[in-house]
Chain A
Amino acid sequence: MKPAPFDYVAPTTIDEACAILAEAHGGATVLAGGQTLLPLLNLRMSQPFILVDINHIAGLKGIARVDGGTLIGPMTRQCEAIENTALQQHLPVLVEAVRHIGHHQTRNLGTIGGSVTLGEPAAELPATAVALKATIEVRSIRGSRNIPAADFYLGPYMTVLEEDELVTGIRFPDWSPGHITLFRELAQRPGDFALVGLAGALSIESGKVARAGLAWFGMGPTPMRARAAEQLLLGQSVHEIDPQAVAAAAINDTAPFDDQHASAEYRRTVGARLFASTLREAIRVREAA
C-alpha cells in the first residue's frame, strides 16, 4: 500500500499554486490536510503526476468576520474551527457539523476546505455548506469566481471546480441572531460516515420563517438540498410548523442508495423520522427559550 510515484511541490503563495495547477493541465492534485487523500494515494485510487502541497500558503488559513458573514480560509484545521468563538456564536450548525467529522486525531490535520472541496456525499461539511448557503471562492490564473455551494457538487467526489482552480475561501453568510439550528447524524460508530445526516438553519423574523436552509448528507450522490421543505417553511409561523409534513417534503429531495451498511429504504424511513424529530425538538427548544 504505497503511492505511485509523483512529483511534490510546496508553493508558498496562492498565485504560485495557481500557476502550478495551470501548468499541470489536470495532472496535479492538491494536498490539504491529507486525511482522505493520503489513503487514496496509498491505495493507488488517486495517482497524480504532481502533488501540490498548500500547507505552506499563509493566505489560505484563518477565520475572519467579513461584511455580513464569516470567511473561512480553506486550510483552517477542523480542530481550530471547533474552538473558534466567532463560529460558535454565528455558525453553531457549522461547529456542530465539524465536531462530527472523523476523530479527534484526524480533526487536528483535516481542514475545512479539504472536506468541502472533496465532495464526499456522506460527509458533514458539504451538506452544511449547502444548507447554510455558503459561497465557495475559487481562483485560477484565469481569474476568480464565487460558486454557491448548492451549485458546487456534481456527484460523489465530483465538483464544478476546474482542474486549474484552487479553493481560496468559504464564505458563510450570517443567519439572524437566535436562528433555529438543525443537525443530526446517524452513524454506526463515532467517526463513521453517516447512514443518515441532515443540517439546517431557519431565520425567524416576527415569529415567521424568513429564511430556510436545509440539506441532507449520506442521502444521495451529492449533498442533497431539501428545496421543497425550504419552500414549505418560508413564511410559516413557528408554532404552525408541522414537522411531519416538512420531513415528508424533505425526504422527497433525496436519492439514497443501498450499500452494505444500510438500504436506501432504511435511509428514507429513518431520515424522515430523524428530520421530523430534530425539527420538532429545535422548535420546542426555541419556544421554551
Chain B
Amino acid sequence: MSAPNASTGNTERTAVADTAQNGATRVAGMGSGRYIGKRAPRKEDPRLLTGRGQFVDDISLPGMLHVAFTRSPIARGAILSVNTEVARDVTGVHAIYTQQDLAVFNADMISFYLVSPDIKTTPLADGRVAYVGEPVALVIADNRHIAEDAASLVEVEYAEEDPVVTIGDARSGPTVHPGRDDNISVQMGEEELDEELADKLDSAPHLVTQKVVHQRISQSPMETRGVVATREGAQELTLYITCQSPHLVARWVSLALGVPQTAIRVIAKDVGGGFGLKNHPWKEETAVILATMLFDRPLKWIEDRYENLTASCQAREQEMVLQVAFDNDGKLLASHGDYSVNNGAFPQLSECNIAVHMFVWAAYKMPAYGFLTRGWYTNTPGYAAYRGPWGMESLIRETALDVAARRIGIDPIEIRRRNLVTLREQPAESVMGIPLEDVTPAECLEKLLEKFDVGQFRAEQASLRKEKRYLGLGIATYIEPTGAAGAITTMTGELAQVRIEPTGKVTATMSTHSQGHGTATTMAQIFADRLGVPYEDVSVFEGDSSRGGFSPGAAGSRQGVIAGGAAIMAADLLVSKVKTLAAHVLEADPGTVTIEDAMVRIEGSPEKSRSLAEIANIAYGEPDRLPAGFESGLEAQYRYQPPPMTFSSAANACVVEVDVDTGFVTILRWISSEDCGTAINPAVVEGQISGGLAQAIGMVLMEEVGFDARGNPVAATYKDYHLPAISDVPDFEFVHASTPSQSVGGMRGVGEGGAIIGVPTLVNAIADALSPFGEVPVELPLTPTRLLSVIEGRDLGAKAGSETTAVMASQPGAAPVDATPETPVAPPQATAEDATEAVRIDGDWNMALATPMGAQEMTGHFETSGETLSGYLASAEGQMDFTGTVAGNKLQFDLKVVKPMKITLKYNLEVNGDKISGKCKMGIMGSVKVTGQRAT
C-alpha cells in the first residue's frame, strides 16, 4: 500500500519468497562434496508437502477411545459439586474421571527445570477453579462427538468469586491461590532503588523512562496439542505426543508420574510447530496419560483450536518500565528496569524472566544497572514459553534508544554506534557479569548499512512528508544467548549416533527434534560433508525417545549449535574408523586414505579404490580381515558438550508507511543482517528468521489474547485472534555475517532471533514515521485505533478488554481472602521471647529459596555460639559449610557458589518461633525470598 488505499487495507503486500525452494533449484546437480553452507533441499519436505507427514491425529490404535474435557466456565471459584450421572448415561460413554479419580497417582506437575511448582498443580481442577477453561472432568467415549456431548452434560456447581485478571488486579486484588500472602509467584531484585544508582539516574543530563506493555500471545502452533496414550502391558507406556523433544517428555512423564523411564516410549515423528508451548505435557496431556493407566485402553485427545486459543498455556503479557540515563553525547550512564509478567494460575514455571535483566544491556557499554522483577498469579491460563521468551529486553532497550536519540537530537544509528561493544573491544564483561568474547551486533549493523542507504531514505522521507505521506525507518540490534548447556538440568549436550550400513548408506539417529526446523536436513548435510558421501545417501532419524539420547530438543536455539557439533565429532570418529580399516585391508598408510563421493581412495594408488559399501561389507561381514582389536561394523557416537553459551547477533532495518487517515501500517522493506556463525543451510537459516519475523509482525500489529473483566477470553477463534497472513509479511532481505563461534563447527543458534529483534525494529519504524505527531506509546498490539490516537493527539478510546482494571478497582469489598486464615506466630510475641533469650536457632531447618527456576529446597543446619553462627546448607546438589553472625533472632552468613555462575550468596534470615524467613541476595542477580520451618 504505497499509496493510501484504505479500501483494501493491508492487502497489497508482497508475498514472502520461498527461499527454501529457490535454494533447492540452486543445489540441484551439485553432486557430492562440501554440503555445509549449501541450500540443500529439505529431506522432510516431500512427505510434508504431499500430506504424508505423521502427526498425532494420524495415529489410530486398535481399541482406542476418545477424550473430551468438561471445562470451567468461570475464572475463579470453588467447586461445590460435580454430578456425572446424566453424562454417564449417554450411549458410548465409557468413563468420566474427576481429580478425585486421578489423585491415586499423585502426579507431580514439574517444570521444564524438573522442579515441583510452588503451588500444587493438578491435572484436573482440585476443589477450585482458577481460570476459564480449566479442565474439571475428563470424559472417555467411543468418539469425540459423543465425548463432547457427554462433557457438556457433566453438571458442575460453582461458587463464583471475583477474578484477578490483569497484572494490575494481581497487585491489589484477592489472592488467586488460597493460603498465599500475595499474588507474587516469584520475585528477584531490589524493591528499593539503590541510592547510588538513583543518584546516577537523577543527576544525568538526559533520563528516558520507557514503558512497554506487551499483550498476551497464543503460541498458535499449526498442530494443536494432542496425545495418544497406550499401555503396552502393566509397566509399559507408549505416548504419541506432539512435543519439542520426545526425550524430555519421557523424562518429564517418568518423574511426574513416578514410573520408570525405561518403560516409557515417546514418539513424535512430525510436529506442526511448538514455539515453546510443547516443552512438556501440562494439565490435559497429563490427565489423558493418567486416565489411560486407570482405564487401560488406548486414549486419544486432540486439542481443538477453541481449546488451544482459550485453555492452553499462553505467553508474554508483560509490563516493564526502563529508566535510562545518558550524557550529552548520548552515552549510557545508568539504567533501572522494573518488570512484571502475568503468570496466570498454573504457569509451566513461575516466571519472572531474569534473562530480561541479564541481557537488556549485555552488548552495550552500560556502567550501572539495577532491577526488580516479578511474576504474578492471575485467574488466566498459565504462562508458557514463546519463541524468545526474554525478548522484552530488546524491545524496551531498542525503543528507549530511539526515544533518547530523538530527545537528545542524535541519529538513532549514531546512538548505537556510541554505545555498542564492538568486536575490537572484546573480551569484555557486561554490567550483569556476562563475559563477551565474540558478539557482533555493531558489525551486523555496519553490514546492514552497506545494503541500506540511510541518507537516500531520509531524503525520500522528507520529501514525502510534504505530500502528507509518512514513512519511517526502524533500526534495532541485539544479541541472543543460544546453545546453552550445562547450567540447567535439562539443558544438556546433544547426542549423534551414526553408522555406515553394510550397503554403504549412512544412517544417523539424533537427540534432536524438528517442529519444522529441518534438523534431518541440516544434520544430514553435516554427515554427508564430513563422511564424504552424497547427501542423498544419508538418512537422519529423530522424534522417538527410543532412538538417540536425551536432549531438550528445540529449546533455546540450540540444535544447530550443539547437535551440529555432535554430528561433526561422531562423523570424524567414523571417518577415522573407515581410514584405519581401509588402510589395513588395502595395505596402505592410513594418512593416504581419502573418502569422497562414497569412494575410498588411496593417494597415488588409484587401482586400490573401493566403494564405501565394499569396505562396510568387510567391516560387518568379514571379521577375519579386520585389524587386530578393531571393533566390527562401522558405527560411532558422540555426545557433544559445547561452551556454556554461544551468542548470536543481529541488526535489522525496516521501512514502513503509516496511513495517517486510518492508522494502518504497510511494511515496505525489511533487511535482516544476522551473525549465526556457520550457516549449515542458509535456506533453513532464512526460514527460521522469516518465521520469527512474521511472529514479530503479529505481536506488533495484530495478535492479542484478551479477557473481559470476568476473565472470559475474547479471542476464541481465528476470526478474532489475528495471526499475520502471507499478505502481512514482506519479502525479507538477508545479510549473513558468519563469524564462526567457539563451538565445534562454528555454528550459532538462530531459532528465536527473528521473533526477538523483529518487534523493536517494527515498533521503531512506526515511531519514526509518526515522530512529527509525538511519541508512540509502546502498548502492543499497535492497532489502528492506538496509532490514530497518536496521529490525532487524542484518545480514540480504550478497547473492551482494558475496562478490567477499572472494574476491579471499583470493588472495594474485594479484600484479600487470606487475610485471616493463616495464623503465624505473631511477631510481637516472638520479639518478646527474643528479649528473654528464648529464640531457638540451633538445629535443622527445612528451607526453600524462591528462585525463578522454581523453589530450591534445602536443609539448613545452624549452631550458635555467642554471636558466632556456623553450619551448613544441604540440598540434592551437595552440602556447603558457612560461618556467620547471630544478633537476637537475626542470622547473617555468606556462601560462595560457582554454579551456574560465580556469585556470593548473602543470607539475612530471621527466626520467629518455628518459622524462618528472610532474603538471600544473589550478587548482581538481586534478592530472592527465603522461607522455612524447623525440621521435626
- Which residues of chain B are within 8 angstroms of A265 by Cβ–Cβ distance? 785, 796-797
- How many Å lie between the Cα of A261 and that of B714 in the bound state? 11
Q: Cβ of A270 and Cβ of B662 under 8 Å apart?
A: yes
Q: Kindly state whether residue A19 has any CB partner on chain B within 8 Å.
A: no
- Which residues of chain B are within 8 angstroms of A4 by Cβ–Cβ distance? 148-149, 152
Q: Report the minimum CB–CB distance from A284 to chain B (whole Å).
A: 15
Q: Kindly state whether residue B704 has any CB partner on chain A within 8 Å.
A: yes
Please name the residue on chain A nearest to B307 by beta carbon: A1
Contacts A188-B9, A189-B725, A190-B9 hold; do A5 and B798 have CB atoms under 8 A apart? no
The residue that A269 contacts in the complex, of B152, B702, B788, with Cβ under 8 A, is: B788
Q: Cβ of B784 and Cβ of A190 under 8 Å apart?
A: no
Q: Cβ of B788 and Cβ of A270 under 8 Å apart?
A: yes
- Which residues of chain B are within 8 angstroms of A264 by Cβ–Cβ distance? 797
- How many Å lie between the Cα of A62 and that of B601 in the bound state? 75
Q: Kindly state whether residue A137 has any CB partner on chain B within 8 Å.
A: no
Q: Report the minimum CB–CB distance from A94 to chain B (whole Å).
A: 16
Q: Which parts of A164-187 form the interface with B (CB within 8 Å)?
A: 183-187
- Which residues of chain B are within 8 angstroms of A71 by Cβ–Cβ distance? none
- Which residues of chain B are within 8 angstroms of A186 by Cβ–Cβ distance? 6-7, 9, 662, 664
- How many Å lie between the Cα of A289 and that of B661 in the bound state? 27
- How many Å lie between the Cα of A263 and that of B663 in the bound state? 13
Q: Report the minimum CB–CB distance from B216 to chain A (whole Å).
A: 12
Q: Cβ of A260 and Cβ of B797 under 8 Å apart?
A: no
Please name the residue on chain B nearest to A273 by beta carbon: B661
Q: Kindly state whether residue B145 has any CB partner on chain A within 8 Å.
A: yes
Q: Cβ of A183 and Cβ of B722 under 8 Å apart?
A: no
Q: Cβ of A260 and Cβ of B704 under 8 Å apart?
A: yes
Q: Cβ of A43 and Cβ of B661 under 8 Å apart?
A: no
Q: Kindly state whether residue A192 has any CB partner on chain B within 8 Å.
A: yes
Q: Kindly state whether residue B304 has any CB partner on chain A within 8 Å.
A: yes
The residue that B152 contacts in the complex, of A1, A44, A191, with Cβ under 8 A, is: A44
Contacts A2-B145, A270-B661, A273-B661 hold; do A190 and B788 have CB atoms under 8 A apart? no
- How many Å lie between the Cα of A192 and that of B724 in the bound state? 12
- Which residues of chain A are within 8 angstroms of B144 by Cβ–Cβ distance? 2
Give the secondary structure class of B's interface: loop
- How many Å lie between the Cα of A133 and that of B314 in the bound state? 47
Q: Report the minimum CB–CB distance from A259 to chain B (whole Å).
A: 6
Q: Cβ of B9 and Cβ of A260 under 8 Å apart?
A: no
Chain A residues with a Cβ closer than 8 Å to the other chain, count:
35
- Which residues of chain B are within 8 angstroms of A266 by Cβ–Cβ distance? 663, 784-785, 788, 796-797
Q: Report the minimum CB–CB distance from B912 to chain A (whole Å).
A: 48
Q: Kindly state whether residue B193 has any CB partner on chain A within 8 Å.
A: no
- How many Å lie between the Cα of A192 and that of B723 in the bound state? 11
Q: Cβ of A188 and Cβ of B784 under 8 Å apart?
A: yes
Q: Kindly state whether residue B742 has any CB partner on chain A within 8 Å.
A: no
- Which residues of chain B are within 8 angstroms of A277 by Cβ–Cβ distance? 6, 661
The residue that B799 contacts in the complex, of A193, A259, A274, with Cβ under 8 A, is: A259
- Which residues of chain B are within 8 angstroms of A189 by Cβ–Cβ distance? 9-11, 702, 722, 724-725, 727-728
- Which residues of chain B are within 8 angstroms of A185 by Cβ–Cβ distance? 7, 9
Please name the residue on chain B nearest to A270 by beta carbon: B662
Q: Report the minimum CB–CB distance from B708 to chain A (whole Å).
A: 10
Please name the residue on chain A nearest to B725 by beta carbon: A189
Q: Report the minimum CB–CB distance from B1 to chain A (whole Å).
A: 11
Q: Cβ of B706 and Cβ of A263 under 8 Å apart?
A: no
Q: Kindly state whether residue B800 has any CB partner on chain A within 8 Å.
A: yes
Q: Kindly state whether residue B327 has any CB partner on chain A within 8 Å.
A: no
Q: Kindly state whether residue B283 has any CB partner on chain A within 8 Å.
A: no
- How many Å lie between the Cα of A265 and that of B6 in the bound state? 17
- How many Å lie between the Cα of A184 and that of B9 in the bound state? 10
From A3, A184, A261, A273, name the one whose CB has the most chain B CB atoms within 10 angstroms.
Answer: A261
Q: Which parts of A263-289 form the interface with B (CB within 8 Å)?
A: 263-266, 269-270, 273-274, 277-278
- How many Å lie between the Cα of A183 and that of B727 in the bound state? 22
Contacts A188-B9, A263-B785 hold; do A269 and B796 have CB atoms under 8 A apart? yes
- Which residues of chain B are within 8 angstroms of A263 by Cβ–Cβ distance? 785, 796-799
Q: Cβ of A260 and Cβ of B706 under 8 Å apart?
A: yes
Q: Kindly state whether residue B717 has any CB partner on chain A within 8 Å.
A: yes
Q: Report the minimum CB–CB distance from B917 to chain A (whole Å).
A: 42
Q: How large is the interface on B (under 10, 10 to 19, 20 to 34, 35 or more residues)?
A: 35 or more
Q: Kindly state whether residue B899 has any CB partner on chain A within 8 Å.
A: no
Q: Report the minimum CB–CB distance from A127 to chain B (whole Å).
A: 14
Q: Kindly state whether residue A262 has any CB partner on chain B within 8 Å.
A: yes
- Which residues of chain A are within 8 angstroms of B7 by Cβ–Cβ distance? 183-186, 274, 278
From B7, B8, B662, B725, name the one whose CB has the most chain A CB atoms within 10 angstroms.
Answer: B7
Please name the residue on chain A nearest to B9 by beta carbon: A187
Q: Kindly state whether residue A201 has any CB partner on chain B within 8 Å.
A: no
From B10, B664, B706, B796, name the one whose CB has the most chain A CB atoms within 10 angstroms.
Answer: B796
- How many Å lie between the Cα of A220 and that of B220 in the bound state? 31
Q: Kindly state whether residue B547 has any CB partner on chain A within 8 Å.
A: no
- Which residues of chain B are within 8 angstroms of A184 by Cβ–Cβ distance? 6-7
Q: Kindly state whether residue A195 has any CB partner on chain B within 8 Å.
A: yes
Q: Kindly state whether residue A258 has any CB partner on chain B within 8 Å.
A: yes
- How many Å lie between the Cα of A2 and that of B304 in the bound state? 9
- Which residues of chain A are within 8 angstroms of B663 by Cβ–Cβ distance? 266, 270
- Which residues of chain A are within 8 angstroms of B664 by Cβ–Cβ distance? 186
Q: Which parts of B23-66 form the interface with A (CB within 8 Å)?
A: none
- How many Å lie between the Cα of A3 and that of B799 in the bound state? 32
Q: Report the minimum CB–CB distance from B130 to chain A (whole Å).
A: 23
Q: Kindly state whether residue A39 has any CB partner on chain B within 8 Å.
A: yes
- Which residues of chain A are within 8 angstroms of B307 by Cβ–Cβ distance? 1
- How many Å lie between the Cα of A192 and that of B783 in the bound state? 14
- Which residues of chain A are within 8 angstroms of B785 by Cβ–Cβ distance? 262-263, 265-266
Q: Cβ of B725 and Cβ of A269 under 8 Å apart?
A: no
Q: Kindly state whether residue B720 has any CB partner on chain A within 8 Å.
A: yes
- Which residues of chain A are within 8 angstroms of B715 by Cβ–Cβ distance? 260
Q: Kindly state whether residue B861 has any CB partner on chain A within 8 Å.
A: no
Encode contact with B along A225-264: 1 for CB under 8 Å, 0 otherwise: 0000000000000000000000000000000001111111
Encode contact with A along B703-747: 1 for CB under 8 Å, 0 otherwise: 010100000001101011010110110000000000000000000
- How many Å lie between the Cα of A193 and that of B717 in the bound state? 13
Q: Cβ of A39 and Cβ of B727 under 8 Å apart?
A: no
- How many Å lie between the Cα of A260 and that of B800 in the bound state? 6
- Which residues of chain B are within 8 angstroms of A193 by Cβ–Cβ distance? 719
The residue that B305 contacts in the complex, of A1, A3, A261, A273, with Cβ under 8 A, is: A1
From B307, B714, B722, name the one whose CB has the most chain A CB atoms within 10 angstroms.
Answer: B722
Q: Report the minimum CB–CB distance from B770 to chain A (whole Å).
A: 16
Q: Kindly state whether residue B306 has any CB partner on chain A within 8 Å.
A: yes
- How many Å lie between the Cα of A114 and that of B728 in the bound state? 29
The residue that B11 contacts in the complex, of A190, A262, A278, with Cβ under 8 A, is: A190
Encode contact with B along A201-222: 1 for CB under 8 Å, 0 otherwise: 0000000000000000000000
- Which residues of chain A are within 8 angstroms of B702 by Cβ–Cβ distance? 188-189
Q: Kindly state whether residue B801 has any CB partner on chain A within 8 Å.
A: yes
Q: Report the minimum CB–CB distance from B358 to chain A (whole Å).
A: 33
Q: Which parts of B652-707 form the interface with A (CB within 8 Å)?
A: 661-664, 701-702, 704, 706
- Which residues of chain B are within 8 angstroms of A278 by Cβ–Cβ distance? 7
Q: Cβ of B6 and Cβ of A274 under 8 Å apart?
A: yes
Q: Which parts of B183-229 form the interface with A (CB within 8 Å)?
A: none
Encode contact with A along B224-251: 1 for CB under 8 Å, 0 otherwise: 0000000000000000000000000000
Q: Kindly state whether residue B792 has any CB partner on chain A within 8 Å.
A: yes
Please name the residue on chain A nearest to B799 by beta carbon: A260
- How many Å lie between the Cα of A106 and that of B7 in the bound state? 20
Please name the residue on chain A nearest to B727 by beta carbon: A190
Q: Report the minimum CB–CB distance from A92 to chain B (whole Å).
A: 14
- How many Å lie between the Cα of A192 and that of B797 in the bound state? 21
7 new A-B pairs (CB below 8 Å) besides A184-B6, A269-B792?
A2-B144, A5-B149, A185-B7, A189-B725, A260-B801, A266-B796, A274-B662
A–B complex contacts, Cβ < 8 Å, 15 sampled: A2-B145, A43-B306, A185-B9, A186-B7, A187-B9, A192-B719, A261-B720, A261-B783, A262-B783, A262-B784, A262-B785, A263-B785, A265-B797, A269-B788, A274-B662
- Complex A-B, nearest 10 residue pairs according to Cβ-Cβ distance, in ascending order: A263-B797, A1-B304, A266-B785, A265-B797, A190-B11, A184-B7, A2-B145, A265-B796, A263-B785, A266-B796
